[in-house]
Amino acid sequence: MSIAKRELLTRCSTALSCAGLGASLFSTGQAYSGPRYLDVPPVVQNNDESRNSTSTPGAPASLATASKSTAAVGSSPATSTASGETEKKAETETPRYLERGYRHEFLFTGDVDFVKGATKSRPDETGLSEQSLDYRAELIYGYFIAEFVEPVIEVAYSQQKNKLGEFDGTSRSFSWGAGLLFNLPIVPDDKPVRMHFARWVPFGGLLVMSENSLNDGRLASTSTSNNKSLMTNLIVGARYLAFPNVSINSSIRMSYEKSSTAAEAEGKSGGERSKTRIQARLFGLSLLF
C-alpha cells in the first residue's frame, strides 16, 4: 500500500472518531440538564406561620384574597349608595292610595250635657228640683277641590229635656246648611304642599245654616213654640293629622242669627229676634279619603 492511501485511511478514521465523540457529548448534554429539585410544600408549624405564609406577597392565594377584598371594597360604596337611594325613594314615594290626594272628608262631632240641681227664690223655701239632659250630634261632609278648597254640607240634630218642679219640657232642633272651607297645610320645605304631607292644617271659611226647633212644655196647660233661625257662621280652626286618614279638629264659630218664633198656649203669639253667638268646638273627629 502506498503512503498516500495510508494517509487517506488515517484521516478518515480520525474524522469518524471525532464525529462519534461529538455525537456522544451532544446526547449526554441533552439528557443531563442539571440537578432536579422536588417541589415539596413546607410543613406548617402553627397558625401564625400559616397566616404569615398566606399573607406573603406574590403568592397566588394571597393575590386571589386581595382581589376578592378589593372587589368587595369597590362594590360596597355602590351597594350602600343603591340601598340609600332605595330607602330615600321609599320615604319620599307617595302611597298609592294618596297619589291623587284626599277627596272626601267626614267630620263627626257630638256632646252630651247633664245638669241636676235645685232652685229656690228665698232661703227658707223648699228648693225645686232641676234636671236637664241635652245631647247633640253633627255630621259634616266635605269634598276637596285641589286640596285647598272644600265645599261642605252640614247636618245636625239636638234634643234637650228640662224638668223644673212640676214643669216638664222637651226641645228638639234640626239644622242643615252649606258653605266653603279653605285649607292651608303646613308642610316641610322639601315636600309639596299636600295635605297628606302635613301634620297641622289650619282652615277657615263661611257656612250658612238654617235651624228649625220645636218646644213642648207642660205646666198648668200645654204650650208649644216653633222657632226658625237663619245663621251665618264664620269658622276658624285647625286640623291635626294624627294618622294618615284620621284628623282631630278644633274650631271657633262666630254666628249672626235672625229668627222668628210662633208660640201657642191659651192664645197665639209670636215675635222676631236677632242675636250674635260664639261657639267653641274643641274636639271633632274627621275621616279623610
pLDDT tens digit string along 191-220? 888 888 899 999 999 999 999 998 887 655
User: 117 pLDDT band (50/70/90 cuts)?
Assistant: confident
Angle formed by the axes of helices 60-92 and 47-54, nearest 10°: 80
Which residue from 114, 212, 211 is spatially nearest to 163, judged by alpha carbons?
A: 114
Please say whether the beta carbons of 190 and 200 come within 8 A.
no
pLDDT at 32 over 50: no
Determine the Cα angle at 181 with ends 141 and 108, to 5°. 35
> 179 burial class (0-12, 13-18, 19+ CB within 10 angstroms)?
buried
Find how far residue 277's CA is from the centre of its chain. 39
Please say whether the beta carbons of 171 and 159 come within 8 A.
yes
d(C-alpha 278, C-alpha 234), whole Å:
10
User: 156 pLDDT band (50/70/90 cuts)?
Assistant: very high
Question: pTM for the complete prediction?
Answer: 0.61
- What contacts 150, CB < 8 A, 6 or more positions away? 105, 142, 143, 144, 180, 181, 182, 183, 203, 205
Question: Would you call 192 helix, strand, or coil by DSSP?
Answer: coil
d(C-alpha 34, C-alpha 84), whole Å:
63
Please say whether the beta carbons of 175 and 159 come within 8 A.
no
Please say whether the beta carbons of 163 and 131 come within 8 A.
yes
Name the strand (E) or helix (H) holding 279.
strand 268-288
d(C-alpha 109, C-alpha 136), whole Å:
8
- Counting residues of the chain whose pLDDT is more than 90, the rounded percentage is 31
More confident residue, 15 or 283: 283
Cell of 126: 223648699
More confident residue, 232 or 1: 232
